[in-house]
């Protein structure tokens, strides 16, 4: 190593913890051992660095600084915790207010129950069952006539029912002599939503299924099926519910 290189590395040498690497340090030390001038420079630089390092670190730390810092840190932590608590509280209050407002708006705008809307149909059944039937047929876009002369006075309900996932218009008639017995008239549209090929008259122990034969042109592809609770197995299951039977009474 030449003096010029040695001077370069002396400037980089640390007072402690040499970072030059083992090879460079060994070369430098060898050069210093054989070069009195550079060795003197190294001693001077080392002495100066050590003196400055000691002076840089010679800063008296104020008494009580440690306690003051810990106290300040605790106060700071408390303030941060309080700030976060306020934020969470404010957020919760905002959410509550938003939910409350939303619920208020919903409450104001949702439709209010009209008791007459409930009472009206029942009142209609009592006062003018014929009109109820006609309205039901019109609203369901069914032919204006029923497939058989059912007695409107026996009408209990005219609405619809879910049958195999399809809304099917249905009218329910009570038996004139015993309200436990009934006839449910279903109007199936032959519009392809349900396969109606399997419809046929059938009987069970307490009920009967009657498919009412209709004029295809008059009833425009609607098939009517009546389910009745059978009171007298020897009797025509529809007969008690038809006006021609002359048995209807209110």
Partner 1 sequence: MGSAAGGLHGLIDAHYEALYRYAYRLTGSAADAEDLTQEAFGRAFTRLGQLREPDRAKAWLFRILRNLYLHKVRDERRHRAVPLDAVGDVPAREAEAGGAVDVDPARLQQALDELDEGFRTPLILFYFEEFSYRDIAEQMGLPIGTVMSRLARGKAYLRAKLAPPVPGADREKGSPDPAGVGGRVAR
Residues in touch with partner 1 (CB under 8 A) = 7, 10-12, 14-17, 19, 40-42, 44-45, 47-59, 61-62, 65-66, 68-70, 72-74, 76-77, 80-81, 84
Structure tokens at 55: 């002076």
Q: Would you give the DSSP letter of residue 154?
A: G
CB of 96 to partner 1, least distance (A): 24
Nearest residue (CB) to partner 1, 55 versus 108: 55
Minimal distance, residue 33 CB to partner 1, in Å:
17
- In the complex, what is the shortest distance from the CB of residue 99 to partner 1, in angstroms, rounded to a whole number? 28
Nearer to partner 1, 76 or 239 (CB): 76
Comparison of 8 and 103: residue with beta carbon closer to partner 1: 8
Nearest approach in angstroms of CB 72 to partner 1 is 5
Q: Which residues fall within 8 angstroms of residue 49, CB to CB, at 6 or more apart?
A: 15
Interatomic CA distance for residues 189 and 140, integer angstroms: 10
Q: How near is the Cβ of 47 to partner 1 at its closest, in Å?
A: 5
Of the pair 39, 156, the CB lying nearest partner 1 is at 39
Handedness of CA 187, 189, 195, 199 (dihedral sign): positive
Closer of 45 and 190 to partner 1 (Cβ): 45
Query: In angstroms, rounded to a whole number, what is the distance separating the alpha carbons of residues 177 and 247?
Result: 8
Range 83-91, long-range pairs (CB < 8 A, 24+ positions): none
DSSP for 67-102, written as a single string: HHHHHHHHHHHHHHHHHHHHHHHHHHHHHHHHHHHH
User: Smallest gap, in angstroms, from Cβ of residue 91 to partner 1?
Assistant: 17
Q: Which is nearer to partner 1, 19 or 197 (CB)?
A: 19
Cα–Cα–Cα angle for 102, 103, 107, nearest 5°?
120
Phi, psi of 48 (to 5 degrees): -65, -45
């Amino acid at each position: 190593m030449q003096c010029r290189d040695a001077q370069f590395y002396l400037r980089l040498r640390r007072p402690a913890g040499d970072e030059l690497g083992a090879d460079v340090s060994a070369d430098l030390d060898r050069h210093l051992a054989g070069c009195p001038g550079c060795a003197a420079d190294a001693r001077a630089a080392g002495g100066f660095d050590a003196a400055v390092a000691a002076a840089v670190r010679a800063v008296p730390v104020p008494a009580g600084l440690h306690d003051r810092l810990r106290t300040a840190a605790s106060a700071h932590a408390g303030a941060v915790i309080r700030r976060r608590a306020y934020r969470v509280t404010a957020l919760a209050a905002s959410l509550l207010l938003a939910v409350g407002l939303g619920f208020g708006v919903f409450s104001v705008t949702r439709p209010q129950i009209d008791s007459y809307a409930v009472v009206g149909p029942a009142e209609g059944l009592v006062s003018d069952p014929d009109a109820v039937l006609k309205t039901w047929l019109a609203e369901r876009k069914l032919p204006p006539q029923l497939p058989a002369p059912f007695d409107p006075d026996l009408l209990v309900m005219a609405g619809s029912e879910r049958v195999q996932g399809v809304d099917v218009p249905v009218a329910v008639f009570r038996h004139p002599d015993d309200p436990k017995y009934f006839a449910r008239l279903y109007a199936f549209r032959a519009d392809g939503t349900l396969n109606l090929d399997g419809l046929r008259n059938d009987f069970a122990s307490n009920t009967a299924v009657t498919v009412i034969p209709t004029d295809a042109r008059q009833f425009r592809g609607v098939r009517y099926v009546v389910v009745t609770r059978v009171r007298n197995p020897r009797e025509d299951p529809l007969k008690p519910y038809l006006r021609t039977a002359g048995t209807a009474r209110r």
